[in-house]
Amino acid sequence: MLKHVVFFKLQDPTEETLNKTRDILLSMKGRVAEVINIEVGIDILKSPRSYDVCLIVELDDMDALARYHHDEYHNKVVNAYLNTVISSSAAVDYII
C-alpha cells in the first residue's frame, strides 16, 4: 500500500477557490481507478509556512501511482484546473 500526499499553495486562497479545489480533488474518487481512498483537507491555521490544501491518496503500489499520474481524468480535469490556481506544491510518497 502506498500513500501519495500533496500540499498545494493557492494563488488566491479565497473560500470559493479553496472549496472548488477540494471538490475537484475529491472528484477523482470513482473516476480514477487506482484511487483506493482519498482525503482532502483545507488548512485552518493560515500560518506563513502553511500550505492551503492537502491531498492524501491511497494506492496499491508504485505501478498504481504511475497509472494514477497518467490517468486521463487526473490530467485533463484535475491537473488542468490545478494549473490555473496553484502557486506551488510539494509531495511525499511513502509505503504503508
User: Taking the domains of the chain in order of start, what are their residue ranges?
Assistant: 2-95
Q: What is the pLDDT of residues 22-41, one digit of tens each?
A: 999 999 999 999 999 999 99
Contact assessment for residue 24 and residue 13, using Cβ atoms and an 8 Å cutoff: no
Q: What is the pLDDT of residue 39?
A: 98
Q: What is the pLDDT of residue 95?
A: 97
Q: What is the pLDDT of residue 16?
A: 98
**DSSP state string for 24-79:** HHHTTTTTSTT-SEEEEEE-SS--TT--SEEEEEEESSHHHHHHHHH-HHIIIIII
pLDDT tens for the chain, 96 residues long, are 999 999 999 999 999 999 999 999 999 999 999 999 999 999 999 999 999 999 999 999 999 999 999 999 999 999 999 999 999 999 999 999
Mean pLDDT of the chain: 98
2-95 architecture in CATH?
Answer: 2-Layer Sandwich (3.30)
Burial class (CB within 10 angstroms; exposed 0-12, middle 13-18, buried 19+) of 12: exposed
